[in-house]
Amino acid sequence: MIGRLLRRDLVCRQAVELVTDYLEGVLPEPDRERFEAHLRACVGCEEYLRQVRLTIELLGRAEPDDLAPKTRSGLIDLYREFQAQG
């Protein structure tokens, strides 16, 4: 059964749905091999995976959006109130 799965080609439409399991390291071994074999042969899916990785990287280095001044001063007031109460 597994041998048959391994031989059967993965199509791009299926491969893109395995990207997260692959990056999370939870793809079972035969599926991981099949996925990697597909990537080696498929420029489109290789680029897709690269873009998902870049997306993750971009999200990781995004600066937190600036707080609205009112929100920020409200939170600082909250802090001062808290301190004043001891």
Partner 1 sequence: MSDGDLVQRLRSGDESAFAELVDAYHPSLVRVAMAFVRSRAIAEEVAQDTWVAVLRGIGRFEGRSSLKTWTFHILANRARTTGVREQRTVAVDVGDSSTVDGRRFDDVGAWADPPAPWTDAVEDQIEAVKLAERALAAIAELPGSQRAVVTLRDVEGLSSREACDVLDISEANQRVLLHRGRARVRATLEHEEVAK
Contact between 52 and partner 1 by CB under 8 A: the answer reads yes
Contact predicate 33/58, CB 8 Å: no
Please say which residue, 2 or 54, places its beta carbon nearer to partner 1. 54
Contact predicate 23/52, CB 8 Å: yes
CB of 21 to partner 1, least distance (A): 7
Using CA atoms, how far apart are residues 54 and 82, in angstroms rounded to an integer?
Answer: 42
CB of 33 to partner 1, least distance (A): 19
Contact between 32 and partner 1 by CB under 8 A: the answer reads no
